[in-house]
Amino acid sequence: MSRATTIATHWIRKSFIGETKLPIVYEPGEDKDLKDLTAWIQKNQKEWREDLKTYGAILFRGFPVHEASDFQSILFATEEKKLGEFYLGTSPRDQVVKHVFTASELPPHYPIMQHAEMSFLDNPPKLLFFYAEKASETGGETPLTDLREIYKDVDPKIKDKIKKYGIRYRRRYDGPSTTARFSLWKTKRWDEMFGTTNLDEVKKISDKNRFKLDWSGVDSLTITNEQSGFRVHPEAKTTAWHNHSQTFHYQAAVSEVWKIFKRQKTFRSFGVALLLTLLTLIKRISGQESHDVHVTYGNGEEISAGEMKSITNVFWKHLVAIPWQTGDVLIIDNLSVSHGRLPFTGPRRILVGWSD
């Protein structure tokens, strides 16, 4: 990939990879240790935050970041007032140190569609931090998409419906009586998501986040809630597409896996695409009530398969997928840029943190 250096600030060199300006890349212009990097981040808050506001993501590449504690020291250096400790998202994760988690424990063949972290919450994370403790042999990129561009480019008819009605989410979760950690459609149990089996605590968390709870069976739980679908950045005042339709709509995964097959051209990606197409067809025939994870317009109107496909096409038009290098650290403005995960082979360990 071609690279053109734009600005050198003290000993940090800034550049872009190829034609894209997502992300802006920070690299050391001379040998420095981790303390030099964290000191620079602390001292130059205005500079890197302005870049983050403009470009949406910063990739720190070539710095001596070797383990989870090094990564956490970078989180501390940002001086974010509230680093994440409690994860209310959908992917299964393991806590590594206090503010650092594994990015996802989903199987390597499992694609993760583009989404803004926890966009279904009233107050989603402000910043996301990723660290490549071990980059995979092939694939495994964390693709990025500028949600401000998605907002501009999505079919106006779809956008008008969301403006008028918002977005409604429905998620079904198994509970402690189910030993499996996740299935194809239910990525983890409700006790894992809420971090407790205490029903009073579950209700307290749900009330805070405007979740409607419906219990059934032994301990199955359905969660319903609504959001606007778009968000205005509190500082830049830009408007971004900001919802989980790409992740929760039954059709989105099918569109995603066929695009991944075209990109990766492997037997495995072809097999996954065929299998998921068949399973999704069965789901579609069974009707929306069979969907464990579902998303509609806020008035209950279905987002059609055609509408979802057009949304996916817009995402892939703007998607940037840069291969990880071990030691990379990525900061994302979660109100402006989405992320996902492409299937991979070989050992891979990406860690994540966030600020509320």
Same domain for 179 and 100, yes or no, is no
Residue 271 inside a domain? The answer is no
In whole angstroms, give the CA distance from residue 113 to residue 332.
Answer: 16
CA neighbours closer than 13 Å in the CB half-sphere of residue 35? 0
List, in sequence order, every residue forming a beta bridge with 145; answer none if it has no partner.
Answer: 338
Residue 305 inside a domain? The answer is no
Same domain for 63 and 140, yes or no, is yes
SS3 133: strand
Q: Which of 159, 192, 227 is the last residue of a domain?
A: 227
**Which of the four pLDDT bands, split at 50, 70 and 90, describes residue 2?**
very low
pLDDT at 167: 97
Digit-coded pLDDT (tens) for 121-154: 999 999 999 999 999 999 999 999 999 999 999 9
Same domain for 137 and 185, yes or no, is no
Lowest mean pLDDT among 118-122, 217-221, 333-337: 217-221
Place of tokens 């964290």: 38
Same domain for 26 and 95, yes or no, is yes
Digit-coded pLDDT (tens) for 241-274: 999 998 888 888 888 888 899 899 898 989 988 9
Same domain for 135 and 182, yes or no, is no
In whole angstroms, give the CA distance from residue 339 to residue 145.
Answer: 7
pLDDT at 185: 53
Same domain for 142 and 175, yes or no, is no
Residue 260 inside a domain? The answer is no
In whole angstroms, give the CA distance from residue 83 to residue 91.
Answer: 19
Q: Which of 181, 211, 227 is the last residue of a domain?
A: 227
pLDDT at 48: 97
**Which of the four pLDDT bands, split at 50, 70 and 90, describes residue 9?**
low
Share of the chain above pLDDT 70, in %: 91
Same domain for 106 and 188, yes or no, is no
Residue 222 inside a domain? The answer is yes
The CATH code of the domain that includes 114 is: 3.60.130.10
Same domain for 66 and 188, yes or no, is no
pLDDT at 159: 97
Is the previous residue joined to 23 through a cis bond, with omega within 30 degrees of 0?
A: yes
- Of 237, 269, 223, which is closest to residue 89 (Cα–Cα)? 223
pLDDT at 293: 85
Same domain for 183 and 143, yes or no, is no
**Which of the four pLDDT bands, split at 50, 70 and 90, describes residue 290?**
low
pLDDT at 1: 42
Same domain for 67 and 142, yes or no, is yes
Residue 245 inside a domain? The answer is no
Same domain for 136 and 197, yes or no, is no
Same domain for 123 and 175, yes or no, is no
Residue 209 inside a domain? The answer is yes
The number of distinct structural domains making up the chain is 2
**At residue 289, does pLDDT exceed 80?**
no
pLDDT at 5: 47
Size of the chain, expressed as the number of residues it contains: 356
Residue 292 inside a domain? The answer is no
Q: What is the phi/psi pair of residue 314, to 5°?
A: -65, -40
Of 46 and 3, the one with more pLDDT = 46
pLDDT at 187: 66
The token pair that represents 290 in the structure block: 């069979």
Residue 243 inside a domain? The answer is no
The parent domain of residue 58 ranges over 12-148+320-355
- Alpha-helical (H) ranges within the chain are 34-43, 45-55, 68-77, 147-153, 156-165, 190-194, 199-208, 245-248, 252-264, 267-286, 305-318
Of 250 and 323, the one with more pLDDT = 323
Q: How far is CA 342 from the centre of its chain?
A: 12
Q: Which of 227, 258, 276 is the last residue of a domain?
A: 227
Average pLDDT, the chain: 90
pLDDT at 356: 87
Predicted TM-score (pTM) of this structure: 0.89
